[in-house]
A and B are shown apart, each in its own frame.
Chain A
């Protein structure tokens, strides 16, 4: 491994100060499950690695029925998955957190890191997108909020500026009568990266039984995680019939632009998106 400087500031202010004075490539580290591998494989060579785990704001995990869910950037996938309000109100997020890597990876790797790594295949991202999550970013001029949908700019590329840090991810309170599901396809049962992943969230009006809001987000089928908005629109205002769900699957598949690579061909990935969209929608009908 190439040598690098390391800092573990105890406060956000100190972290921002270090960032403002740093030259060269800086990489924040929480669990390090992506970063360390990238350094070892010489895919990146940071001059400074900045540990964010000592920062109080990065360790918040809190749910408020009026405010929603706050996930500090350093909170591990395991902690998020085992936080009771997450399983109760954001089920697909808990499911995704338990799919990332392996148990060991989930214990170390953070949801914030999964977001910042900006892999198209990031499992926690589709659930976050379906809940209209917002990234809270701290920088030299104070903090700013970026809808997660606008956060991803390409594989490994985000809206973060060099002197900025992701501090937390905010999820608004879930809609009443809503439910969600995340499924990903891998050839094995664990220790793998999604060939395709789909998160769905639907809310229905119990009186009319029509869909009031639908969110469908896709992993591993475009340069960034994406929403399948036409598929969402097909469902909103309609009853969630088998036919509607099937059509949503087709629309989701036409929304994606997958590549053919070692994990699967583009054509196969589109087929998987259809199947996973149908399955996640059927399984996220409100309980």
Chain B
């Protein structure tokens, strides 16, 4: 396999902040996003959405809309192939059953959330499509609304689905339920552990539905040419998208080509094909291309937000600070169909800690809200919120510094991870050491109503499939071709890594993301794994290229392959550097004198996970008169294994922290009896630049066991600690414990002035 942490290059392409290859297009507005795609003769699509969170569709009458001039096609769920054929389930990051995905796109017999799609129209203009929606008559029979997991789990609760039975490891129940699944993990005997504890803290926590908040709404254009459909779309995974629509529409894979456009943010929310099947069906029915661009309200109401969670966390520690028992229960809201991220949350919860006895229960519950999608470290932020707040409180009760308490209990290589398997090499202790020596930790924090909080985060790192093809042109330049959608700089890191491995200047290498018809297969870009797994694919492709080049050099220099060495763009005879051919000369001869064009293909194969840890420090000031929390200073410490591009690593950490801070302070779905009241960026409050200090980052590099550079995934971990870091800082500032997210000014105010009058 590989020597980790090394790569094989010499030209410093890796580890430097090479300017993003797409920076110019992005900042000048030239980058082409999905809504920018123009196809001659395209129609515009709009979707009629349910105003009711829970209702039976008794009838849909589209006859008047069909007669409107300019309307070219109307579809409902009946235009999809029969659902009986849909037995597939998409695993891994996709976490959705095909039948459910089909019903997420357009409701079948029942609408299950405010904004659930009911019918779709394609017309010659957006205005006509909108007008047509008004002409569609839907007869609903209103059903009682399941607003929360608590509602859903009441014994007499109305059922969302008559065919959902609680999945457990034990026997299947005989009655359907809104509890879709229950998982339990852990080891030892927590009751025994708590009996040995000197200090026990138990608290319950609550959070609300949030949105990933990507700037670019979902958008796509579909065009059929005979039997083949081309779909230009904004997606995190072209091949996964292709497979989903192929299943939903019963079209073979080779008749669907997914073309990725630039993507304006995904964060896990652009994995499911929520717009593509609609555009494809309308385009087929109308016989013309169809473009479907969601508006912001549709993005909030009908894509896949992040799962809210009710948790209870109980931790017991000995006098010396060691954790003897830890127990948690996570009740997670999946929205309208099963599939809350129980696996991710279970893995993250308690991840940084050594525990003698450990038990975690997680519940996947359906409610009348949009079905959740992955959101950056799915399930992790609210789960860690509870755990870290309780850890902070335990440390306080023990009279121990919160950092010291973390150091005593931090996991290291060989300790069991939350899944029970031993951890590979990890850098948590190094991260905590970095905190201890940092300017932020050592700076005094003075002033009234100010406090500092510390919290940790853990993400195991996904390991899905990556691949790349590397072609050498006759002028010696190199092209890296991959199906990996570029979310956070994939083209740039691919360029850097290939340049490093081939010992060429990065300017001589370019990387492209291609469509499913011409690119190499990869799973979705997500899960904090793209650089990690793609580095291995690129390494393998480069190795193949170098072998071909060496063979050609041997042929041209009339030597054995074993006698050729390669360094810095030159193939030379070992021990006789005078006998040499440059990379470019050799490339120039490759198509006429060798075995043909030089090309290498590599996949990532099976890598171990590369777990990542982070610690965040927050300084806040609370206005006790209004409850408003101002973040004064914020630092993220993270083990990234190896920073291939430090500036991009820093940017990704900052972005994650800012999303976590929004979740901590201001972002939430405001539902009133199942109706979403804030589907706008005015009232769904994401933090702005003015609300934040500079987010400082301190990068720690403890290389992962596997992969050429030992680069760990960066993306998810930084969203995990912010809520707890801010809570601990608030507690130290004004002495109240906040147990609900977000910690809005009003909530902090009432926590400080609790006279029982909270409305």
A residues apposed to B, CB below 8 Å: 1-3, 185, 187-193, 260, 262-268, 271-272, 275
Contacts and interface: CB of A to CB of B under 8 A. Distances in A.
A184 to B, nearest CB: 11
Interface of A is mostly: loop
Given A265-B759, A266-B759, A188 B690 contact: yes
B585 interface: no
B758 A265 contact: yes
Nearest to B742: A187
A189 B628 CA distance: 11
A266 B757 CA distance: 10
A265 B670 contact: no
A193 B688 CA distance: 14
A36 B685 CA distance: 22
A260 B688 contact: no
Nearest to A278: B625
B677 A271 contact: no
Contacts of A260: 759
Contacts of B744: 187
A191 B690 CA distance: 10
Contacts of A188: 666, 685, 687-688, 690-691
Interface in B680-694: 682-683, 685, 687-688, 690-691
24 contacts: A1-B127, A185-B745, A187-B628, A187-B666, A187-B685, A187-B745, A188-B687, A188-B688, A189-B688, A189-B691, A190-B688, A190-B690, A191-B688, A192-B685, A193-B682, A260-B759, A264-B746, A265-B746, A265-B758, A267-B757, A267-B758, A268-B750, A268-B759, A275-B625
Given A185-B745, A275-B626, 6 more contacts: A3-B127, A187-B745, A190-B688, A263-B683, A265-B746, A268-B759
Contacts of A272: 626
Contacts of B745: 185, 187
B182 interface: no
Contacts of A191: 682, 688
A100 to B, nearest CB: 13
Contacts of A263: 683
A191 B127 CA distance: 29
B678 interface: yes
Closest 3 CB pairs of A and B: A265-B759, A189-B690, A275-B625
B203 interface: no
B758 to A, nearest CB: 7
B753 interface: yes
Contacts of B759: 260, 265-268
Interface in B649-701: 665-666, 670, 677-678, 682-683, 685, 687-688, 690-691
Interface of B is mostly: loop
B561 to A, nearest CB: 64
B282 to A, nearest CB: 22
B682 A192 contact: yes
B688 A268 contact: no
A122 to B, nearest CB: 15
B749 interface: yes
A159 to B, nearest CB: 28
Contacts of A266: 759
A7 B745 CA distance: 45
Contacts of B665: 187
Contacts of A192: 682, 685
A191 B678 CA distance: 15
Nearest to B627: A268
A275 B752 CA distance: 15
B644 to A, nearest CB: 34
A152 to B, nearest CB: 22
B209 to A, nearest CB: 14
B685 to A, nearest CB: 6
A60 B758 CA distance: 47
Nearest to B680: A41
B625 A262 contact: no
Nearest to A42: B130
Contact of B749 (A2, A189, A271): A271
A3 B126 CA distance: 12
Contacts of B670: 262
B414 to A, nearest CB: 45
A272 B625 CA distance: 8
Pick from B688, B690, B746 the residue with the most CB of A within 10 Å: B746
Contacts of B626: 185, 272, 275
A266 B670 CA distance: 16
Pick from B665, B678, B685 the residue with the most CB of A within 10 Å: B685
Contact of B746 (A1, A3, A268, A275): A268
A203 B352 CA distance: 61
A266 B687 CA distance: 24
A266 B749 CA distance: 13
Pick from A3, A189, A192, A266 the residue with the most CB of B within 10 Å: A189
A2 B125 CA distance: 12
A1 B665 CA distance: 35
A262 B671 CA distance: 9
B121 to A, nearest CB: 16
A193 B678 CA distance: 13
A171 B9 CA distance: 73
Interface in B704-759: 744-746, 749-750, 753, 757-759
Contacts of B749: 268, 271
Nearest to B686: A188
A102 to B, nearest CB: 9
A85 to B, nearest CB: 28
A193 B753 CA distance: 24
Contacts of A275: 625-626
Interface in B90-133: 127
A3 to B, nearest CB: 8
B723 to A, nearest CB: 16
Nearest to B684: A262
Contacts of B758: 265, 267
Nearest to B134: A42
Contacts of B691: 188-189
Contacts of B682: 191-193
Nearest to B690: A189
A192 B628 CA distance: 15
B688 A262 contact: no
A188 B744 CA distance: 10
B683 to A, nearest CB: 6
A202 to B, nearest CB: 20
Nearest to B753: A271
B463 to A, nearest CB: 38
A213 to B, nearest CB: 26
B661 to A, nearest CB: 12
Nearest to A101: B682
Nearest to B666: A187
A3 B128 CA distance: 11
